């Protein structure tokens, strides 16, 4: 994802996003927040054929990307945490009971890059 694509996504988030508190156990697990801290971000979500994808820019310059099956939310949510340089820091799967499972970065890298590429293409098409 290029800097221009990130700028375009930032503008889309500003114009069309909604303010949302992120799931605290998730932000704690990624080391973004500490206990009892609530992180409110402005984000966008997109229904894309089979998936619901959410783009969450973070105050630290990083990025959280969420993806889940649109018609099968019980299958859980894949989450990817990238730093400001778009290096994958971590990945966590959240099941339908909100149980978090850390996914090794080396196992999540390919899927994380697919999510980044999807958002880059979204920026290019808007």
Q: Give the DSSP per-residue string, 29-97.
A: HTTSS-TT---EEEEEEEEETTEEEEEEE-TTS-EEEEEEESS-GGG-EEEEEE-TT--EEEEEEE-TT
- Please give the span between the terminal C-alpha atoms of the chain, in angstroms, as a whole number: 15
Residue 18: predicted pLDDT: 97
Parent domain of 14: 3-124
Residue 75: predicted pLDDT: 87
Residue 49: predicted pLDDT: 85
Residue 72: predicted pLDDT: 84
Mean pLDDT in consecutive groups of 10 residues from the start of the chain, 126 residues: 96 96 95 93 94 96 94 89 97 94 96 97 96
Overall domain count for the chain = 1
Residue 20: predicted pLDDT: 95
Residue (of 65, 63, 64, 62) closest to 48 by Cα position: 65
Read off the pTM: 0.93
Residue 63: predicted pLDDT: 97
In angstroms, the Cα distances linking 97 to 74, 79, 93, 94 are 9, 15, 11, 8
């Amino acid at each position: 994802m290029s800097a221009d694509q990130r700028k375009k996504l930032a503008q889309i988030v500003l114009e069309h996003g909604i303010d949302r508190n992120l799931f605290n156990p998730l932000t704690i697990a990624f080391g973004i927040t500490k206990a009892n801290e609530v992180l409110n971000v402005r984000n966008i979500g997109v229904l894309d054929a089979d998936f619901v994808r959410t783009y969450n820019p973070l105050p630290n310059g990083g990025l959280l990307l969420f993806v889940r099956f649109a018609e099968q939310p019980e299958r859980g949510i894949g989450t990817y945490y990238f730093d400001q340089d778009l290096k994958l820091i971590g990945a966590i799967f959240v099941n339908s009971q909100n149980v978090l499972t850390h996914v090794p970065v080396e196992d999540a890298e390919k899927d994380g890059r697919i999510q980044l590429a999807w958002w880059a293409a979204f920026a290019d098409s808007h």
